[in-house]
Amino acid sequence: MEISIVQAAPGSPKTLSTFHPRFTYPIFGGEERIFGYQGLRINLRFSAHLLRPNLEILYDKKFKEVGDTEATDIEETLKEWTPEGGQIYNYYHLR
């Protein structure tokens, strides 16, 4: 997971700061694992002036639901940890 603060700039946003959180257990549980993805990459960007979140989820392969077992809903999981009442502007990409 990569978290960035970005600012609007001509062409594409300018990244002001980026970090990889050391601990994600409050969000993804004690094992800090996200079930159901291969080659997963999460980019969570916040606009510098409004802290509006933008979520990009990239993966090579996603687990197909079998009965009650399904891949972690990453967007839903992150909603309670973002401002704006959980509204996330997102992009999903299969690499």
pLDDT of the residue at 87: 64
Q: Which helix (H) or strand (E) holds 91?
A: strand 89-94
pLDDT tens digits along 13-23: 899 999 999 99
pLDDT tens-digit readout, 22-69: 999 888 888 888 999 999 999 999 888 888 888 889 999 999 999 999
Structure tokens at 58: 């990239």
Interatomic CA distance for residues 76 and 88, integer angstroms:
9
Domains for the chain: give ranges and CATH numbers: 2-94 (3.90.360.10)
In DSSP terms, 22 is beta-bridged to: none
Does residue 86 surpass a pLDDT of 70?
no
pTM, 2 dp: 0.79
